[in-house]
């Protein structure tokens, strides 16, 4: 158990049967009445963000989220298959859990899997990934003075806007937060 006075950003708590990550918190001591803690919580399972106010003396249970390093093996239609590199244990994660993240995964990539007990909550991607451009239009001569962008499709099927000088077969670095081109590899 942890007191609401001891909250920190990034802490995961179990409250009302749901797992929340504390995004923001603020201790408030009004001139009249008792102190309270105003928080912004993100539901780990659904991604919904809520505002909630705790009494300063209220205690909540800490959620023990485990992070396990695993290697992405392959896509098997409805699941992504990952393997623990130490025990060689394989797990399947349904598309519904990793819908956004799968656009940035290439085979044999190492990622962290978040678990709460036996339940798999999701994947933690690195900040940036390197992917190969499989399709893009050739650059148009004379269109280099402006910051013109063109469409490119990378090996995972993700559509990215890239500068005109990027060609098919080149490796580019993409931010996993925004899904945008960052630089050449």
Domains and CATH numbers, the chain: 2-62 (2.30.30.30), 66-124 (2.40.50.140), 128-184 (2.40.50.140)
- Residue 17 has a pLDDT of 86
32 is written with which tokens?
């009249």
**What burial class does residue 1 get, using C-beta atoms within 10 Å of its C-beta: 0-12 exposed, 13-18 middle, 19+ buried?**
exposed
Other beta carbons within 10 Å of 178: 8
For 85-119, the pLDDT digits (tens) are 888 888 888 888 888 888 888 888 888 888 888 88
- Residue 146 has a pLDDT of 66
Other beta carbons within 10 Å of 46: 8
Residue count (the chain): 185
184 is written with which tokens?
């050449």
| Averaged pLDDT, 10-35 | 88
For 24-79, the pLDDT digits (tens) are 999 888 888 888 999 999 888 877 889 999 988 889 998 888 888 899 888 888 88
- 143: pLDDT strictly greater than 60: no
Other beta carbons within 10 Å of 44: 19
The pTM of the full predicted model, rounded to 2 decimals, is: 0.70
Tell me the average pLDDT of the chain.
85
For 81-92, the pLDDT digits (tens) are 899 888 888 888
Describe the strand order of the beta sheet including 2-3 as a list of residue ranges: 2-3, 59-62, 12-15, 18-28, 36-43, 49-55
Using a pLDDT cut of 70, give the percent of the chain over it.
96
- Residue 51 has a pLDDT of 92
């Amino acid at each position: 158990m942890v007191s609401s006075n001891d909250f920190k950003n990034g802490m995961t708590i179990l409250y009302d049967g749901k797992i929340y990550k504390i995004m923001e918190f603020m201790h408030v001591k009004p001139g009249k009445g008792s102190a309270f803690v105003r928080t912004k919580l993100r539901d780990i399972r659904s991604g919904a963000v809520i505002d909630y106010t705790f009494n300063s003396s209220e205690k909540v249970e800490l959620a023990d989220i485990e992070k396990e390093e695993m290697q992405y093996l392959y896509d098997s239609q409805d699941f992504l298959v990952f393997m623990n590199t130490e025990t060689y244990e394989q797990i399947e994660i349904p598309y519904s859990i990793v819908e956004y993240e799968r656009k940035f995964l290439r085979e044999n990539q190492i990622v962290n899997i978040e678990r709460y007990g036996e339940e798999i909550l999701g994947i933690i991607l690195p900040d940036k990934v390197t992917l190969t451009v499989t399709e893009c239009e050739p650059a148009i001569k004379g269109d280099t003075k402006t910051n013109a962008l063109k469409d490119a499709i990378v090996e995972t099927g993700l559509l990215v806007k890239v500068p005109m000088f990027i060609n098919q077969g080149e490796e580019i670095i993409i931010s996993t937060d925004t899904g945008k081109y960052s630089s050449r590899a």
